[in-house]
Structure 1
């Protein structure tokens, strides 16, 4: 079997441009525009089209995160759809983005990738209508997704309030298990099952519960995304380390050194703004682990999602680990 993870330098959301570099880039490239409800700095763009409808727009794609082509397609689609769910919306239309080394990899594999994406989009009841493809030295796949939401019920990362619990809907450890898979070929079904699970149920439960602050946990790791919520809301997030769920095998993978460069960059970025006192290196790396198609981080409680901390009035650090 072709090992797709060996055809690209990186894999999954660990390939993201580091958050500090990205902030500087976007600050120069995206001017303000009247009518935008949400622009840069959140999971998807949102613009009001009338009194009770906002259109959401997002795009996400990456190099192979697993060797199985259909699983890669399923994971990439779930990850792209997640940005709409992370804003409290419902996806209504998606288009594919496919970059393929057509002289090195058979098109039959590309068909499997596209089929996996279509499978997950069908679960989301979201039509996939064509897309765009190019010949590229490294394979990449993802989707651009359009969604709708009520403009007054958006989940935003700047809407946190003091005293609100923080909940996490999927366990951490996806990144270190994917890094181990890339290095050794070992397959981790628990990681795949987590990545292909849609965030639709959690999103709808959050909106129904009146939650207005949230994001998804992807390439910047839990610490990076918690920091973004705390900073945008001008609060501090206190995280209870013992309450954070981890996938089976994640701690062992981190202890054996299966840590991506993206995860290490995440930790470097959050460290000056985070109180890491008393936290060992392995725990800190797992909390910064670059997730692909991770869960939702919500400022509020929903059934089935463990509470991992709370938002409190602003302190010296944006994030405090206890």
Structure 2
């Protein structure tokens, strides 16, 4: 029993990597229903590589648009996908052959499956070949969860949660339960992923490393972060938190989940501001207190939640002393 799976690849100027990515998809033992390459205005030889090596694949669909960024590309891809399930993939990464085989097995065991989560590893390439990092994103337990929210709770409390859209396969109809918003060139996945977890029902999480993320110079996540990028990350956090607030009372440990989510994100924001030598967003302390109150967190002696501005000053002073 293999359901129809739509793979969506937002693509922009990756001619050196796209062949390996597509090969890792087309060489899966489980057939894919369609692989949609969303050409976001490529100006290099990416499309030529695709047509030369994979032009005869019946699963391949190339959809083009003017360059608008990964958010709009993903949104466009989602709108034209016709499969029952969707998997977003970045065009320079590598997929393990076991991904869709296990997904199909879990689907066969329970066709009501709506969310399939897996672990990932990142890698770099050098003169001595590829170097892989250790796994950091597996859930604390492998197996079935009654809902995506239950898995989300596990991931956040164990500090394994990441918003990456390529770390799960989901039933497309889940998107009918919330307003899909995918915009911009960075951070577009935060609110979307939060909604997918919170609105999914039957869920399975495997500890297997099925996705291999390529860290490379020049990619968006590895490039220098500007002020607008840092502030954009704060806005993305606020959008994701707004979705979590709507469901925090439905989670078994909702207040603890909210506390951990707020603490980690505010702490990460402080680090970004210190590194880029920019000020914290105006009113961050008061807003964080309000968020904690909204989520019934209460007062906790954790500096990112209690005194984020003071923590910023401490970390900035340490950074200055190191220079």
Q: TM-score range by the shorter chain?
A: under 0.3
Max Rg structure:
2
Structure number with higher helix proportion: 2
Structure number with higher strand proportion: 1
| Higher RCO, 1 vs 2 (CA within 8 Å, ≥6 residues apart) | 1
